[in-house]
């Protein structure tokens, strides 16, 4: 159990990648605060973890609400001696052709995906920088979720992809700002992963085959595979890795077709 006595916060953990991450961290001994905008979704994940005899607490909050985020993180800091790990998975995605995107839709995606990343990272880093650790050791680990489409363009996801490009450069700048405090900050850039976010792809065998045809590995990824990478990044084995964007995509970003 490599995360014994650690406290983690996983956002967007009611579904998909966040849910798999929350389970993985709890299995390694961490207490996991399971965040989602939906209390029902957060509770379904924390119940799953608690039923395994492991430690999880549901916390509902919308990451785009800076006041709610601060209250959530303050509550965790009051309940536990410190916050060691943030894995920020919460995000939303919609699809629209360029001339059809309404400014309200654009703002909503940026607000949740990019502003939400700022809110949660600032609130958590404020707590992490006070963690007491042995000389030179990491005070905390932050992992954000960008996307391979932070740099690879495609059609009809302008707002989502712009938000993820923002998350990628924000992550690098944050790594610079937090290095003096010995807080590791990295981002994972997944390709196509089988989660509710991709429900439209999963529901249509023809579309799914088309997506898989562009992935050299020949299939979409699984949330548990992303969770394994998260575990490495938040472990003591990754103390000297910071400011990196790590792709996990079955080779999709190598494919130019």
**Which residue out of 33, 160, 222, 240 is catalytically annotated?**
160
Residues in CB range of 210: below 8 A, 6 or more apart: none
Residues 110-169 that bind ligand NAD (CB under 6 A): 112, 116, 145, 147
Neighbour-count burial for 138-172, b at 16+ CB within 10 Å, e otherwise: bbbbbbbbbbbbbebeeeebbbbbbbbbbbbebbe
| Between 196 and 236, CB nearer to ligand NAD | 196
Residues in CB range of 135: below 8 A, 6 or more apart: none
| Between 76 and 192, CB nearer to ligand NAD | 192
In the residue annotation, 160 being an active-site residue is answered as yes
Total residues belonging to the chain: 257
Rule CB under 6 A: choose which of 8, 11, 171, 186 binds ligand NAD: 11
Report the interhelical angle of 158-178 vs 103-110 (nearest 10°): 30
Distance CA 46, CA 40 (A): 10
| Between 17 and 54, CB nearer to ligand NAD | 17
| Residue 38 in the binding site for ligand NAD (CB under 6 A) | yes
For 112, the token pair is 């949740």
| Between 69 and 139, CB nearer to ligand NAD | 69
Rule CB under 6 A: choose which of 74, 169, 196, 219 binds ligand NAD: 196
- Site for ligand NAD, rule CB under 6 A: 11-12, 14-18, 36-38, 41, 62-64, 89-92, 112, 116, 145, 147, 190, 192-193, 195-198
| Active centre residues (catalytic) | 160
């Amino acid at each position: 159990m490599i995360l014994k006595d650690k406290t983690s916060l996983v956002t967007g953990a009611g579904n998909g990648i966040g849910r798999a991450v929350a389970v993985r961290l709890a299995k390694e001994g961490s207490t996991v605060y399971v965040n989602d905008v939906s209390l029902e979704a957060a509770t379904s994940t924390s119940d799953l973890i608690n039923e395994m005899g492991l430690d999880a607490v549901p916390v509902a909050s919308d990451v785009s609400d800076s006041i709610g985020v601060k209250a959530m993180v303050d509550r965790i800091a009051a309940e536990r001696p410190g916050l060691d790990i943030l894995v920020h998975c919460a995000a939303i995605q919609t699809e629209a052709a360029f001339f059809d995107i309404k400014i309200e839709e654009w703002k909503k995606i940026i607000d949740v995906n990019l502003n939400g990343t700022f809110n949660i990272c600032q609130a958590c880093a404020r707590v992490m920088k006070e963690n007491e650790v042995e000389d030179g050791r990491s005070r905390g680990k932050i992992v954000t979720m960008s996307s391979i489409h932070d740099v690879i363009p495609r059609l009809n996801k302008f707002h989502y992809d712009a938000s993820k490009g923002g998350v990628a450069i924000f992550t690098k700048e944050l790594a610079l700002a937090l290095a003096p405090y010995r807080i590791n900050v990295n981002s994972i850039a997944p390709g196509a992963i089988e989660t509710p976010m991709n429900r439209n792809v999963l529901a249509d065998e023809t579309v799914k085959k088309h997506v898989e045809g562009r992935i050299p590995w020949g299939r979409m990824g699984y949330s548990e595979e992303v969770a394994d990478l998260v575990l490495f990044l938040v472990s003591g084995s990754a103390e000297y890795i910071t400011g990196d964007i790590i792709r996990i995509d079955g080779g999709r970003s190598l494919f130019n077709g």
